[in-house]
Amino acid sequence: MPPRVGIVVFPGSNCDRDLFYALERAGAIPHYLWHMTTQLPPLQAVFLPGGFSYGDYLRAGAIARFAPIMRPIEEFWQKGGFVMGICNGFQILVEAGWLPGALRRNLSGQFLCTVIPTQLFGPSPLETYLGQRLYRLPIAHGEGRYVPGNQLPIWGLRYATSPAPNGSFQNLAGLGNTEGTLFGLMPHPERACDPYQGNLDGLDFLRGIVRYIQSR
């Protein structure tokens, strides 16, 4: 059966519809979740989309981390549910303290919008489903430079070019937790899911994610 997945909509989210379309194409059954929700419906995964939640005031993701829906999402992944944050969604996961480190302004000080090859690294639970191939994925961010905390990432996603376009530590484009219940990444796979976008690597990537969700 196709997995039921939720897509959180914050004020300022602008990739929620793109992600809905992409996840449908990837084989999931997506549902929108409003940021004021305090109880999740039956789901197998939750996605935090890209955009500018709450206008990115203070710092990207710094206000969204306090949204009412974050409490049930935290309970969800702590009980074994899968949560994935894309771009602003990744920033929210880090701001909430669920993933280590911080995401700061790009080293160039400029907003980056391009397509770049990426690849999994480390003992990733996603490797069976995504493999070690390169995925050419779009990026579009001003605050994507990863700075590590006390705990270094053990698995995740790296930019396959060096140095990273944003100056990210160890070319890091995304990371996950030990349990495989959290995964955050700066690239936008949902923006490479249709022939009109000129690239289908994102669809392959999300199909792998959906297979991973189904296997849990």
The reply to whether 74 belongs to the active site is no
User: How far is the C-alpha of 124 from the C-alpha of 65, rounded, in Å?
Assistant: 26
Find the catalytic residue in 15, 141, 143, 190: 190
The values of phi and psi at residue 204, to 5°, are: -60, -40
Distant-in-sequence, close-in-space partners of 16: CB < 8 Å, separation ≥ 6? 7, 8, 9, 32, 49, 51
Q: Is 190 a catalytic residue?
A: yes
Annotation marks residue 193 as catalytic: no
Burial profile 145-170: b = 16 or more Cβ within 10 angstroms, e = fewer: bbeeeeeebebbbbbbeeebbbbbee
Catalytic residue of the set 15, 87, 143, 193 = 87
Q: Out of 95, 141, 143, 188, which one is annotated catalytic?
A: 188
Q: Is 47 helix (H, G, I), strand (E, B) or coil?
A: strand
Which residues have a catalytic role annotated? 87, 188, 190
